[in-house]
C-alpha cells in the first residue's frame, strides 16, 4: 500500500496543500505529492498516472460536481477524495453520487485523515460516520439529495438571479413580475432550502446546480 503512491493535492490555498503534504509524507514511506491550485492544472497533472487526488469543492475553473464527473469519465480507476470544509452531512452524498470515492472534512484530525487514506487505498472507498448517518437519514426521509429539487422551475430561475446579485427590482423587470411576487418567491426559496441569507444560497447553487 505504501509503495510508489502518487497523490495530487488540489486546493487553491497553498497552506492547506502544504499541511496535508507534510502529513502524508510522514505516514507513507514512498509517496510522490503533486500540487494543483485550479482544475486546469489538475488535468495536466493527470496526464501522468496518479493513484489518488484530494479535491476541494470550491476550485477555480472546476466548481460543482461536473469536475468529478469529468475526472471519473476520463480516469475511471483514479481514487477521488473530496476534501472540503463544507458540512459532510449536506454535501458528501452529492459528490459520492457524482463519482467520488469519499468525502473528508478539512477540519478532520491528522489520524482521521491518514485512516481515511488507508481505507480508501484498501477498499476503494471511504465513508465517515457522518456520511453513513446522512445516507441513513436520506433513505428514511426520502428527501432529495439535491435540495434544489424542492424548488419549482420558477423558483430556480429566481434563485439563480438572486445568486447572481440581482435585486428585487432587477428580477421583477427581467421576469416581468411584481416586486411583491419576487419577495414571495424569495421567502419560499429560503424556507424550502432552510437558509436565511444569499451567501448560503450561492453556496448551494455552486454545489448543486449543474
What pTM value is reported for the model?
0.72
Q: What is the pLDDT of residue 208?
A: 76
Contact predicate 93/131, CB 8 Å: yes
Domains, in order of start, for the chain = 5-140 (3.40.50.2300), 147-208 (1.10.10.10)
Per-residue pLDDT band for 87 (boundaries 50, 70, 90) equals: confident
**Whole-angstrom distance, CA of residue 176 vs CA of residue 125:** 49
- Comparing 14-23, 76-85, 135-144, the range with the smallest average pLDDT is 135-144
**Whole-angstrom distance, CA of residue 107 vs CA of residue 122:** 23
- pLDDT, the chain, mean: 89
pLDDT over threshold 80, residue 1: no
For 164-203, the pLDDT digits (tens) are: 999 999 999 999 999 999 999 999 999 999 899 999 898 8
Amino acid at each position: 500500500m505504501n509503495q510508489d503512491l502518487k497523490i495530487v493535492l488540489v486546493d487553491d490555498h497553498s497552506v492547506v496543500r502544504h499541511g496535508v503534504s507534510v502529513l502524508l509524507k510522514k505516514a507513507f514511506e514512498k509517496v510522490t505529492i503533486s500540487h494543483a491550485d485550479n482544475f486546469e492544472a489538475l488535468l495536466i497533472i493527470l496526464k501522468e498516472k496518479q493513484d489518488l487526488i484530494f479535491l476541494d469543492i470550491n476550485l477555480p475553473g472546476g466548481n460543482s460536481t461536473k469536475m468529478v464527473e469529468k475526472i471519473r469519465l476520463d480516469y475511471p480507476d483514479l481514487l477521488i477524495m473530496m476534501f472540503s470544509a463544507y458540512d459532510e452531512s449536506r454535501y458528501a452524498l452529492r459528490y459520492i453520487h457524482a463519482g467520488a470515492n469519499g468525502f473528508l472534512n478539512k477540519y478532520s484530525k491528522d489520524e482521521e485523515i491518514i485512516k481515511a487514506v488507508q481505507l480508501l487505498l484498501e477498499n476503494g472507498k471511504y465513508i465517515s460516520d457522518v456520511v453513513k448517518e446522512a445516507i441513513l437519514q436520506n433513505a428514511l426521509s426520502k428527501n432529495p439529495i439535491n435540495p434544489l429539487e424542492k424548488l419549482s422551475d420558477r423558483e430556480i430561475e429566481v434563485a439563480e438571479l438572486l445568486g447572481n446579485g440581482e435585486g428585487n427590482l432587477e428580477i421583477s423587470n427581467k421576469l416581468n413580475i411584481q416586486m411583491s411576487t419576487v419577495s414571495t418567491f424569495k421567502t419560499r426559496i429560503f424556507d424550502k432550502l432552510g437558509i436565511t441569507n444569499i451567501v448560503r444560497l450561492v453556496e448551494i447553487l455552486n454545489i448543486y446546480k449543474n
